[in-house]
Amino acid sequence: MRRNRLLPLLFIMVLAIASCEDDVFGPASLEGEWNATEKSSAFGEQVFSVAINYSPDRESIIISNFSNLDMDIEVVAEVMGLDLTIPFQSVQARGGTFRISGSGAATSNMRRINWKYRIDGNDCTAVFVKQ
């Protein structure tokens, strides 16, 4: 009889722990300031800071200063688990239009993102490390 009472309690505890994991290691934990190191044939290697904000209504993140374009320039990336996708988008920066698309993968602790993307036909790789 006692065993039957403990089963619902155990089930509720498991659900509570599972729902907390999304807060700790979910897309919202990507928010913050990041150090970026980017390599490309067009720009060489550059190191700069980016800011990431989470948009829960769209399950996406908004990256400011992507590819060191400007802190006022925002690039959107969709989040699915640890995988990130930058759908094709055009941004206005530095007096021109930049066409961007690519993908990335976050580490399980959400403290590092490895990126591969294209900007105006140039292949780029970058690593973002959370400050």
The per-residue pLDDT for 26 is 78
51-54: long-range pairs with CB below 8 Å, 24+: 52/128, 54/27, 54/28, 54/30
The per-residue pLDDT for 3 is 56
The per-residue pLDDT for 57 is 82
Euclidean distance between CA atoms 69 and 77, whole angstroms? 16
The per-residue pLDDT for 22 is 43
Please give the CATH number for the structural domain made up of 3-130: 2.40.128.120
24-35 per-position pLDDT tens digit: 567 899 999 999
Dihedral pair phi/psi, residue 43, rounded to 5°: -115, -5
Using only the alpha carbons of the chain, give its radius of gyration. Answer: 19
Please say whether the beta carbons of 102 and 120 come within 8 A. no
- Ranked by mean pLDDT, the top range of 20-24, 57-61, 125-129 is 125-129
Q: pTM for the whole thing?
A: 0.80
The residue type found at 44 is G
The per-residue pLDDT for 93 is 93
The per-residue pLDDT for 39 is 98
The pLDDT mean for the chain works out to 87
10-26 per-position pLDDT tens digit: 555 554 544 444 445 67
